[in-house]
Amino acid sequence: MTRPAAFALASALALAAVGAAGCAPVVAQTAPAPAPAAATPAPAAFTLAPLPYGYDALEPVIDTATMTVHHSKHHQAYVDNLNKAVAADPALAGMTIEQLVVRAGTLPAAVRNNAGGHWNHTFFWETMAPAARVGAISPALAAAIDAQFGSMDAFKAAFKAAGTARFGSGWVWLIVGADGKLAITSTPNQDNPLMDVAEVRGTPIIGNDVWEHAYYLKYQSRRADYLDGWWQVVDWGKVSARYAAANAAR
């Protein structure tokens, strides 16, 4: 059928339908209503980035199985559950992870816990590097640690004490406070020092995960041994850059 012919036929059918509707009694609609078009799902607000190194890159300090499960299962679950929680509350649409974290005390527990879980783990992966590739501490940070704690060894001992004292699950942190001074603090669950609910607030520059899922396969109940060994894979170059940025932002 040519296009003009098809147009003429369609027009005739349309006119006939109008005419029929105009004089026919109203009858119940028997044809099924067309199904609404499937809504295009919104893209997930948050995604899990790959590790900046391989799952086996922190051996023997952190074993491959622990790294694999920790990143691909635990961290993935925080991301997935955060996306679900945010999707359920339009008021949170478009917020960054940092915007969620700083107002955690005003948010539902599912958002607070999973936003913290996502932020904390991203920060944790980036705190570490393979032992052969960790950077050197900056003179400024080394001096600040000496000034605040007496020595690097004394700092590590205090950090370990805070990590072992954390009852249950949580994190231990080195932060830069509002006064510019370094401080060690610990948070429960997936809270962190950026949160409005933190007992001690500040800008984290080191964070260690002391949940059992971070160390149990290799260290079992020996959290203190995990805390001791962990320093071998702390990237002091990265930590020093964070220290400089925290001071520059004050």
Say whether 228 counts as a known binding-site residue. no
**N- to C-terminal Cα separation, the chain:** 76
Q: Please give the residue whose beta carbon sits closest to Fe ion in the complex.
A: 209
Single-letter code of the amino acid located at 135: G
190/240 with CB nearer Fe ion? 190
The answer to whether 182 and 176 are in contact (CB under 8 A) is: yes
Residue 70 assigned ligand-binding role: yes
Q: Considering the complex, state which of residue 137 and residue 235 has its C-beta at the smaller distance from Fe ion.
A: 235
Query: Min. distance of Cβ 70 from Fe ion in angstroms?
Result: 6
Based on CB atoms, which residue is closest to Fe ion, 89 or 225? 225
Residue 56 known to bind ligand = no
Which CB sits closer to Fe ion, 74 or 247? 74
Please report how close the Cβ of residue 191 comes to Fe ion at its closest, in angstroms: 13
From the list 10-18, 51-59, 152-160, 204-212, the region that binds Fe ion by CB under 5 A is 204-212
The residue count for binding Fe ion (CB under 5 A) is 3
Q: What character string, x for contact with Fe ion (CB under 5 A) and - otherwise, covers 205-224?
A: ----x-x--x----------
Is 236 an interacting residue with respect to Fe ion (CB under 5 A)? no
Biggest distance spanned by C-alpha atoms of the chain: 97
CB of 153 to Fe ion, least distance (A): 27
182-188 vs 170-176, strand pairing mode: antiparallel
Q: How many angstroms separate the Cα of 198 from the Cα of each of 93, 188, 192, 212?
A: 24, 9, 7, 21
CA distance 116 to 14: 60
Tell me whether residue 209 or residue 235 sits nearer to Fe ion (CB atom): 209
CB of 124 to Fe ion, least distance (A): 7
- Measure the CA angle with vertex 168, ends 67 and 73; round to 5°: 30
CA distances from 153 to 150, 160, 209 (A): 8, 11, 20
DSSP assignment string, 220-243 = TT-HHHHHHHHGGGB-HHHHHHHH
Smallest gap from Cβ 189 to Fe ion, in A, equals: 11
Taking alpha carbons only, the member of 231, 226, 204 closest to residue 214 is 226
The interface region with Fe ion, picked from 14-22, 39-47, 51-59, 201-209 by CB under 5 A, is 201-209
Distance CA 97, CA 119 (A): 7
Nearer to Fe ion, 182 or 214 (CB): 214
235 annotated among ligand-binding-site residues = no
Question: Binding site for Mn(2+): which residues?
Answer: 70, 121, 209, 213
Question: Binding site: which residues?
Answer: 70, 121, 209, 213
Residues that bind Fe ion (CB under 5 A): 209, 211, 214
